[in-house]
Amino acid sequence: MRKLTKRERFADKVLSRYQVYNSIFSTLPYESITNTGVMLPLFEKICIEGYKKNRNPSEIVEVFFKTYLNESNDKERIDLLFYFIQYIERQVVLFDAIEDAAFTEINNLDGRGSLRALKEEVESKNKIKEFKKYLSKFKVRPVLTAHPTQFYPGSVLGIITDLTSAVKENNLSEIKSLLSQLGKTPFFKNKKPSPFDEAVSLTWYLENVFYSSITNIYKYIKSNVFNGEVFDNDIINLGFWPGGDRDGNPFVTTEITINTARKLRSDIIKNYYRDIRKLRRRLTFKNIEAIIIDLETRLYESILDYNEDPKITLNELKKKLYRVREILISEHKSLFLDQLDDVIIKVNIFGYHFATLDIRQDSRIHSKVFERILEVAQQNKIINKPISYDKLTVEDKIKFLSTIKGDLNLDSFKDNLVNSTLSSIRAIKLIQRSNGEKGSNRYIISNNQSALNIIELFTMFRLSNWSNPSVDIVPLFETISDLKVAAKVMESVYLNRTYRNHLKNREDKQTIMLGFSDG
């Protein structure tokens, strides 16, 4: 029998199923759905004909109502158009769920471009040693950015997940039940989402997708490439912008940044708690069960006390898990060791940070803020001698800034922008104490135009009682003119002794971003 092409598999597994389940959706006992399901195909027909005749949208809508609902008033017309939008949104969700359910049947997950195919190619060329060396240093950094128009609310994401499972099992009664729920579930809230709401929306993907998928990738490499040998490179480091991206969203505050970091920590601890709870059902052995119960209890208490430090430190969590591992091997014949190792891998990858919360602000905002910071620094005698900063050359400014550090009092500033900028630096320090350094260790400068932009931000850290910040200063060169001078800018920065010492403390690594951040 001939093997179906990818297009044919898509038609069979997605389009055909969609037509069947969409017909179920249109028969749900809700008046708005029933009427809309009848009128929408007629509207589609009028649209197709209208486009062929080069009619504009207003003309097409007018033709539709004159043809089928000539006696309807304005309110009835607006209501029906609104129902069309609602109906189509739910059709899109249904299609997404069906497509997700059929993904493994349509796509060859072990084919060209997959990790397995790459491993087999490397083995065939006898390059496994070089491959291991490369993977030991290789890093991928997916960054989740804030685009709230692309979000489904959490309730809808939950329906999609359940609907996908029901479609995989071809469970018609469950599918109908979920479609009924979908028909009554609102897609939009009554108010515009806050930056924290955007962050919460994206943490759903961390908790329900990345947590398991990143772990599976790591386990595959460790088992099939390194064959159980030492492999301590976590490969994939997640970045997270919602709640920290001030350039992308001016409504981000320090409080939102801190709450987002707490949310990330709470979510990862919640996942650990679930895993430990499952593990407890298996590790019922002497000298182990009590440790597991203690871990479960303290992790649970850490979830409840959202605003407080965890009831167990990350270091203690790791120590206890490794202690359980030792006992399991020495006293209990390594029973369920694979399940325990799965949890240990996750804890080593995600720590208490889950994803690194990046802070971002525009260089032009920094320049405005910095003028006021220098004024106050002189008033507070952090800068001992008077200086006309704006009259200095760029080279002299950089030289001067490399000599100053201190601890500016935020109460000295009445300007909200200055307070917001400096408090975001202090927030990074706070987050690192509670979530670990990876909790927030990158400050991105949008529209970076010069070496001075980098040194000014670095000086802000040094004036925040943080002379050796455990933070990467990341210039983002966005415009063509900025990209042209990027090499000279970075050369100038590298020649600065104070900043060069900072890089030594950062493993001699400098991160640079090129091009539009969301392009």
pLDDT at 452: 96
Strand order in the sheet with 239-240: 143-144, 239-240, 356-357
Are residues 197 and 249 in contact, defined by beta-carbon separation less than 8 angstroms? no
HEC sequence for 300-328: HHHHHCCCCCCCCCHHHHHHHHHHHHHHH
pLDDT at 99: 94
- Taking residues 412-419, report their average pLDDT: 88
d(CA 36, CA 429): 54
Flag whether pLDDT at 150 surpasses 60: no
pLDDT 10s digits, 327-354: 999 999 999 999 999 999 999 999 999 9
Are residues 153 and 250 in contact, defined by beta-carbon separation less than 8 angstroms? no
**Helix (H, G, I), strand (E, B), or coil: what is residue 113?**
coil
Backbone angles phi, psi at 480, to 5 degrees: -60, -45
Flag whether pLDDT at 32 surpasses 70: no
Chain centroid offset of residue 362 CA: 21
Look at residues 464, 454, 462 and name the one whose alpha carbon lies nearest to residue 403.
462
The residue type at 503: L
Flag whether pLDDT at 519 surpasses 50: no
pLDDT at 108: 87
% of the chain at pLDDT higher than 90: 69
pLDDT at 132: 94
Indicate the range of 93-107, 126-140, 370-384, 422-436 predicted with least confidence. Answer: 370-384
Flag whether pLDDT at 17 surpasses 70: yes
Flag whether pLDDT at 21 surpasses 50: yes
Domains in the chain: boundaries:
6-106, 139-151+193-356, 358-514
Give the H or E element holding residue 225: none
pLDDT at 477: 95
Highest mean pLDDT of the ranges 110-114, 198-202, 262-266 = 262-266
pLDDT at 31: 64
pLDDT 10s digits, 182-230: 888 887 767 777 899 889 989 989 999 999 999 999 999 999 999 978 8
Flag whether pLDDT at 408 surpasses 60: yes
Are residues 302 and 312 in contact, defined by beta-carbon separation less than 8 angstroms? yes
pLDDT at 243: 94
Flag whether pLDDT at 517 surpasses 60: no
